């Protein structure tokens, strides 16, 4: 479908909003669903769900592979740098138009 990602994002937002009005934490439920779906670790039984502290400890155990950190820094630089250059360019153009023209 052409706009499937937008539809999925809207449905997810609507589901999270409904959970918040019901007093449930959507982030915790998403983590619990991920653990149930993966079925890995010490929580293979669906009835036995981990506590939030156990989930956080398991996420801390995940290690980056070699070269991941420089790749993330490079991606952030390539994403942010052009926007900053454009903003500075617009400011310089406005200063030039108002003061030096």
3-state SS assignment for residue 28: helix
pLDDT above 90 covers a percentage of the chain that reads 28
Residue 35 has pLDDT above 90, yes or no: no
Residue 47 has pLDDT above 70, yes or no: no
* Sequence ranges of the domains in the chain: 10-50, 75-101
pLDDT confidence of residue 27: 81
Angstrom distance (rounded) from CA 33 to CA 52: 13
Angstrom distance (rounded) from CA 10 to CA 3: 11
Q: What tens digit of pLDDT does each residue of 56-89 get?
A: 787 777 777 888 888 989 999 999 999 999 999 9
Average confidence (pLDDT) over 29-36:
77
12 or 1, greater pLDDT = 12
């Amino acid at each position: 479908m052409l706009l499937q990602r937008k539809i999925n994002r809207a449905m997810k937002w609507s589901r999270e909003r409904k959970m918040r009005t019901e007093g449930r934490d959507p982030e915790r439920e998403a983590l619990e669903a991920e653990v149930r779906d993966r079925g890995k670790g010490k929580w293979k039984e669906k009835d036995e769900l981990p506590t939030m502290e156990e989930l956080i400890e398991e996420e801390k155990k995940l290690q980056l592979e070699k070269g991941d950190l420089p790749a993330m820094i490079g991606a952030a630089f390539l994403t942010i740098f052009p926007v900053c250059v454009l903003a500075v360019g617009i400011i310089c153009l406005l200063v030039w138009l108002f003061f030096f023209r």
